[in-house]
Amino acid sequence: MTAYRVATGYGLLALAKNRLALILLAVFVPLWITVAKTVATPELFPFRLRATGQVLHAGGDNITMISGSLNAVSLLVGFWMFSAARRTGDFDRRLTAAGYPRGALLAAKLTALLATAALVSAYAVAWMLLYWRPRQPGLLVLAVLAASLIYGAMGLFLSLFLPGEVEGMVAIIMTSIIDLAPQNPIAATTANSPLIAWLPSYGSLQTALQAGFTDRLTLAPLANSLAWLAALSLVALAAFLRRTRVHTAPAAGGGRAGGLLGRAAGVFGRR
């Protein structure tokens, strides 16, 4: 088994050990979407879709459900990746000090991020489809996935700078509120401000609204999402490489790395 496969296996195991995140996935996501759909008014609201310049009319319940689903997946994936990175941080440093390739660890973290974001996004969209039929379901999945990836990368980024899970959760919650609340076409009078285009979830929300209420396909807003994803990932990458830098070559590094990996299941099992 290659170093990448071993690291990926233990990375996914660490994610699966997070029972709180699994409970939030099973309960929090469908509850948030259900509340957004049933509590908000179905009255039609006019709003301008900045991505295309169109003025659309859509039910307030569907708009709120889109915004709520993006908020839910952002919080969950951000917290899940932050928690996993915090729990495995010390072990990563021990592995690299023992000679384990950092490239394999980084590739494993990216794989875990993609797997988590894809799982949560598919689950959230499946729940939305129970209540509503968007014009472009595939584009809606892409929009939700983009938000998940951004906040997952943000979780990895924050895990390298914040001391504990409470601080990380608070930071992710506050960022999500500041990000999505001003963009809601119903609740916010700032939704047409040009500054909105600089927020992390701008591309995701614009693409989701486009997918829900139009037949047009404009991927330009997702350039914003790609820029945020790249920036957060690069900073997290640089910080990870700096923290796992080995100043002196360890003796018998391969043997130490193999021994640590042999005990990894026990380490993750206790956490």
- Per-residue pLDDT tens for 75-102? 999 999 999 888 888 888 888 888 888 8
Q: Kindly indicate the confidence band of residue 247, based on its pLDDT and cuts at 50, 70 and 90.
A: low
Q: How many CA atoms lie within 13 A of 225 on its CB side?
A: 24
pLDDT in tens, 192-203: 677 888 999 999
Residue 134: CB partners within 8 Å, gap ≥ 6?
128, 140, 211, 212, 213
pTM of the complete model beyond 0.85: yes
pLDDT at 271: 45
Distance CA 161, CA 154 (A): 11
C-alpha distances in angstroms, 7 versus 91, 110, 218? Answer: 11, 11, 37
- What is the SS3 assignment for 246? coil
